[in-house]
Chain A
Amino acid sequence: MPIGERLRYARERAGMTLRQVEERTNIGESSLSEFENGKREPRLSLLQALAEAYRRSLDFFLSDEPLPREVLLWREQPPSPLCEEIEGEFLRLCEQYHNLETWLDERRVTRLPKADGDAATYSYTDAEGLAHQTRKALSLGDRPAQNLLTTLEEECGVKVFHKPFDPPGAAVCCVTEAFGVAVLLNSRNVRWRRNFDLAHELFHLLTWLIFRGTQTETRATPAPKEEQFATCFAGNLLMPTDATRAAVNEVIKEGKIAFADMFDIARQFDVSVEALIWRMAFLRYFNHDDAPKIIDRYKRVSDMWEGNRVHDDPPMRPPRFRALAIRALRQGEVSLGRFAEYLGISRREARAMMDQDARGDEEVQITTA
């Protein structure tokens, strides 16, 4: 595909007008138009400026490969232009992660359980069954939230990033031909909320072919019913029936359960009390219609417990990404500038890390038993 067409694609994908690009890059609108129409080619420095504005690598514009299919699925899609900015950053991170894996020959094939079904007839029973199947397949145990993120990243080849953005309920996942599957979670949310978000997005990844099929649009929004299935899946996955019943039954006294005990169970499963209440309603501990009222009552007194729950601040890039980047620098597979860009640090910090490595690694002699 000619450079001009790639430039137009990237600009439109970034949600920018020619005027906006001119303001950002100081490249005149008429020049931009000529570049996109193939009337002339930009010199490399201008192409690099445009690549930065569109959050693409230079390589994207120089490639002769067909444009990659990048389908993003939003939950609570933010308004433009924030949506396009987040998407651009997300895809850029995916590309960087993919590059690191490729340079170090550490490409992880996506290994997720296969979901069966048909979009037209999909049911809550199917979502429950998928949750059970997934928990077993990934060996998540009785407290799945404790290791869901690590398992997906390290064993299943799912790239999980974190970034702060609004609205709070927003999250996005994608399936790309080039980079595999990835999820972007909102780091503004507390960990137990993010666990649920991750499980929710996992449902979309597992059922991608069922609900997306061979969709060609670059951006999708799940139907309300699909979102309900995802929520059902997430609850079932993170709070397995037997384990949840065992935990709840243990603390029921004279037919009642205290909020303190609910909080403790939610803490064990690393989910919100709200999610637990819905799960308990699903398991028929009380009427489904009573769940909202119970949640309201909890929220009135929740400060007592929620205030003591330890919050975290997840890094944007997963630990494996960082580890790969450092190894790439150490093995001379990446430039200092590129390393700094990938880790979001200054060249000075990057150089300090490289100078540290100059002292060389130490080795330990292994003796056979």
Chain B
Amino acid sequence: MKKFRLLLLDANVVIYLFEIGLWDELVERCEVLLSRIVAEREAQFFEKDDGEKVYFDLQSYIADNRVTVIDASVADIKAFRDLFDPVYLPRLDDGESESLAYLIKSPDKCLICSADAIVFRVLALLNRIEQGLSLEEILGEIGLNRSVPWGFSKQFREHWTKRGQQERVRGIGLR
């Protein structure tokens, strides 16, 4: 039984996992979903310290059903977009928009792991904070605890989730 089911990962998380060599372990222990934009366009390589690009192959994981690709339609993204003040959507990566649009429409309770403040703010605005996770928390739950950069930390998620909650209370951001 996998520890996390229906876990959407944004591109930053995928790239970082390959960078630190934990991608395979995470896929082994979690049911990973990737939006098609993340899988095919945004998560392609990580960079070494010297700037060298190291490409990775997500297609083989997809072909072996170790990772599931999800799509969002234009109607899905428009429905997601219509929840917010129009200036919100361009702030997100396109892959994040696709992931969040899917999360909202899905009858299953998906989770999303991100390293972006705006994602956690959006989840809080939508009153879905329980569906957001930091990579630090995931790694901790699956027995792969380690120190992570600020953007992947639980503290980061909590900070920006709180900000989103404050905005929700003040009626900022939503239509």
Residues of A at the B interface (CB closer than 8 Å) are: 3, 41-45, 47-49, 51, 57-59, 62-63, 99, 102-103, 328, 332-338, 346-348, 351, 354-355, 357-358
Cα distance A189–B90 in the bound complex, in angstroms:
34
Indicate if the CB atoms of A332 and B163 lie closer than 8 Å. Answer: yes
CB < 8 Å: which of A43, A44, A351, A355 contacts B12? A351
Q: Is the CB of B74 within 8 A of A59?
A: no
User: Could you say which of A42, A328, A337 has the most chain B C-beta atoms within 10 Å of its C-beta?
Assistant: A337
Q: Is the interface of A mostly helix, strand, loop or mixed?
A: helix
Stretch at the interface among B1-9, B56-64, B93-101: B93-101
The 8 A CB mask of B14-35 against A (1 = contact, 0 = none) is 0100000000000000000001
CB neighbours of B141 from chain A (8 A): none
Find the A residue at minimum CB distance from B73. Answer: A43
Q: Is the CB of A99 within 8 A of B90?
A: yes
Count the A-B residue pairs with Cβ separation under 8 angstroms: how many? 111
Determine the chain B residues whose CB is within 8 A of the CB of A41 once the complex forms: 73-75
Contact B89 A348 (CB under 8 A): no
Please determine whether B90 and A59 come into contact, CB atoms closer than 8 angstroms: yes
Q: Quick one: given A337-B12, A338-B92, A358-B150, are A47 and B47 in contact (CB under 8 Å)?
A: no
Distance of A41 Cα from B96 Cα, bound (Å): 20
In the complex the two chains form, is B41's CB within 8 Å of A49's CB?
Answer: yes
Tell me if B67 counts as interface (CB < 8 A to partner A): no
Secondary structure at chain B's binding surface: helix, strand, loop or mixed?
Answer: helix
* Cβ contact of A347, chosen from B12, B41, B77, B97, cutoff 8 A: B12
Partner of A338, one of B75, B86, B93: B93
User: CB-CB < 8 A to B115: which residues of A?
Assistant: 336, 351
Q: Which residues of A contact B149 (CB under 8 A)?
A: 351, 355, 358
Residues of B contacting A358 with CB < 8 Å? 149-151, 156
Q: Which of A59, A332, A354 contacts B150 (CB 8 A)?
A: A354
B71 touches A44 (CB 8 A): yes
- Beta-carbon contacts of B81-120 to A below 8 Å, as 1s and 0s? 1000011011111111110010000000000000111110
Specify which chain B residues have a CB less than 8 angstroms from the CB of A338 in the assembled complex.
90-93
In the assembled complex, the CB of B101 is this many whole angstroms from the nearest CB of chain A, namely 8
Q: Please, which residue of chain B has its CB at the minimum distance from the CB of A52? A: B41
In contact, B91 and A348 (Cβ under 8 angstroms): no
Q: Please state if A334 and B91 are interface contacts (CB–CB under 8 Å).
A: yes
- Residues in A with CB closer than 8 Å to B119 are 335
CB distance from A34 to the nearest CB of B (A): 14
Q: Are A44 and B93 in contact (CB under 8 A)?
A: no
Cα distance A354–B148 in the bound complex, in angstroms? 13
Q: Determine if A332 and B74 form an interchain contact, defined as CB atoms under 8 angstroms apart.
A: no
Given contact pairs A347-B11, A357-B150, enumerate 13 new A-B contacts (beta carbons under 8 Å).
A43-B74, A44-B76, A45-B36, A48-B41, A58-B89, A58-B97, A62-B81, A337-B95, A337-B96, A347-B12, A347-B15, A351-B115, A358-B156
Contacts of A335 in B (CB 8 A): 91-93, 96, 116, 118-119
Contact with A along B124-160 (1 / 0, CB 8 A): 0000000000000000000000000111000010001
* Residues in B whose Cβ lies below 8 Å from that of A328: 91
Alpha-carbon distance A324/B42, docked complex (angstroms)? 24
Provide 11 A-B residue pairs closer than 8 Å at the C-beta atoms, listed in order of the A residue. Answer: A41-B73, A42-B74, A43-B73, A45-B41, A58-B89, A62-B89, A332-B163, A334-B118, A335-B92, A351-B149, A354-B150
